[in-house]
Amino acid sequence: MHGLISHPVHRVALGGVTRYENGLLTVDERGAQVAFRDAALASVRVTWASPGDSVRIIKVLDAVEPRTKGPGPDGGGIFPGFVGPARPQSGGAPAHVLTGVALITAGYLPRAQEGLIDMSGPGADLSPFGSTHNLVIEFTPAAGASWEAVDVALRTGLLTLANRIAQSALGPSRSDHPPVRPSAASLPRIGAITNLQTQGTFKDVFVYGKSFARERPLPIDAHELFAGAVVSGQYGHPALKNPTYVHQNNPVATELLKRDGKDLTFVGVIISPEPVDQAAKEQISAQAAQLCADLKMDGVVLTKEGGGNADADVALKMDALDTLGIASVGLFAEMGGPDGTAPPLVVPPDRATGMVSTGNYDELVTLSAMERALGGETVDVLSAPATAPLTAPTAVIYCSLSPMGAGRLTCREVVQ
């Protein structure tokens, strides 16, 4: 049985025991630290940052939503390949979700481009994580540990902790998703292609625990995504990245599932790598389009991760789908310069021109001073103290231009 069971969190605290009761989530501070026990880490600190707090989280790495599918260390198969066994979990229990909460790692890693989240002020509306209760995990690497080992330890710890915290909500309850009923044959058959940015260590995405870099496009059940089959290790382009949290909540799949049987038939999701060279991009794009045709899709929504070259992975697939007579819409962030007058895209589709804008990467935003910062003391990319008022491109705000469609930002023409 598939499905999701939501447990809303309204208040949070640190305490001696991890417990979820009447909307209050208490996290055992020592227990949280134990989840990160690893030879590569000297210590970790955990702190809550809640909406409205005068807090800026900087050097944000991954964000994960607490989820589990059952008791025990394997969590009933949650996060397959990391916590649960590395295989599809179809037929497993529904996933229990603590909604309104994110677990966030923050601190220096090489190659990580600095992203920030403001919990109050004008920046809070721009990141999906400005309105979640965030358990921030800061870390000190062990002397002599390689950065690669630190990255692995942080990812393993974060997923382990997400399972353990969610287990506090286990118990009998009803699934959010009613059983799927066969939908009317006349409705258009719609699917999704989710591109994953796969460019090596610190810029990689994992599927069932393994890098997806050399893989082919793969059809995957949306509930596999909801159970954490896709995990992010990609720390480039903070505004244009897809943390694990967003994969767990795949916004397009969620939307299609919600409308399945109403105004469309949801066929399924195809995940695809974003290879680095042009020939591979063209080959993978043709293969993904062919899979959509094999699955008899009439229309496809496409998403990506990253900037410029990742646009090609969407545009090539849209044109390949057009060749096969399949309609498409792609989500793109604009790179229109600070004043919004430059060409919005570098690699647009030639023929299939249905595009949704997730906002302009370059537009400057002014952020308020904060009382406290987590994740570090300076925003190095702006050479500024972490708590200072900042003027920065939208590109530095974590997930502000969510290419998977998690945000509300878009662009409109404004006549002077």
Partner 1 sequence: MTARVVHYLNQFFAGLGGEDKADTPPGVKPGAVGPGRKLQELLGADAQIVATVYCGDDHAAAERGAPAAIVQLIARERPDIVVLGPAFTSGRYGVACALVAAAAQRAGIPAIASLHPDNPGLDDAGAAIVIASGASVREMGPSLERIAQAVRKRLAGEPLTDADGRIGKTPRKNVLATDRSALRAVDLLLARMKGDKGRTEVPVPRFDRITPAPPVDPAKARVALLTEGGLVPQGNPDRLESARATRWLRYKIGEKTGLKSGEHMSVHGGFSTVWANQDPHRILPLDVARELEKEGAIGELFGEYFVTTGNGTTVPNARRFGVEWAAELRRAGVQAAVLTAT
At 416, the amino acid letter reads Q
Q: Which stretch binds partner 1 (CB under 8 A): 42-50, 281-289, 332-340, 370-378?
A: 332-340
Residues in 151-190 at the binding interface with partner 1, rule: CB under 8 A: 188, 190
Residues in 336-365 at the binding interface with partner 1, rule: CB under 8 A: 336-337, 339-346, 348-349, 353-363
Q: Which stretch binds partner 1 (CB under 8 A): 3-11, 54-62, 76-84, 405-413?
A: 405-413
Minimal distance, residue 43 CB to partner 1, in Å: 28
CA distance readout (Å), 74 to 78, 86, 99, 126: 7, 11, 21, 35
Q: Which of 21, 277, 294, 413 binds partner 1 (CB under 8 A)?
A: 413
Residue 356 pairs in a beta bridge with 331
Minimal distance, residue 340 CB to partner 1, in Å: 4
Q: Which is nearer to partner 1, 71 or 122 (CB)?
A: 122
Residues in 267-296 at the binding interface with partner 1, rule: CB under 8 A: 276
Q: Which stretch binds partner 1 (CB under 8 A): 70-78, 81-89, 101-109, 323-331?
A: 323-331
Residue 214 engages partner 1 in binding (rule: CB under 8 A): no
Q: Which is nearer to partner 1, 157 or 236 (CB)?
A: 236
Quote the tokens at residue 68.
């589990």
Provide φ and ψ at 144, rounded to 5°.
Answer: 85, -5
Q: Which of 77, 101, 334, 386 binds partner 1 (CB under 8 A)?
A: 334
Is the CB of residue 265 less than 8 Å from the CB of residue 296?
no
Q: Which is nearer to partner 1, 344 or 376 (CB)?
A: 344
Q: Which is nearer to partner 1, 14 or 187 (CB)?
A: 187
Dihedral sign from CA coordinates of 304, 308, 311, 312: negative
Residue 255 engages partner 1 in binding (rule: CB under 8 A): yes
Residue 405 engages partner 1 in binding (rule: CB under 8 A): yes
Residues in 129-148 at the binding interface with partner 1, rule: CB under 8 A: none
Provide φ and ψ at 379, rounded to 5°.
Answer: -90, 95
The contacts of residue 148 (CB under 8 Å, 6+ apart) are 201
SS3 of 68-108: ECCCCCCHHHCCCCCCCCCCCCCCCCCEEEEECEEEEEECC
**DSSP state letters, 8-42:** E--EEEEESS-EEETTEEEEEHHHHHHHT--TTEE
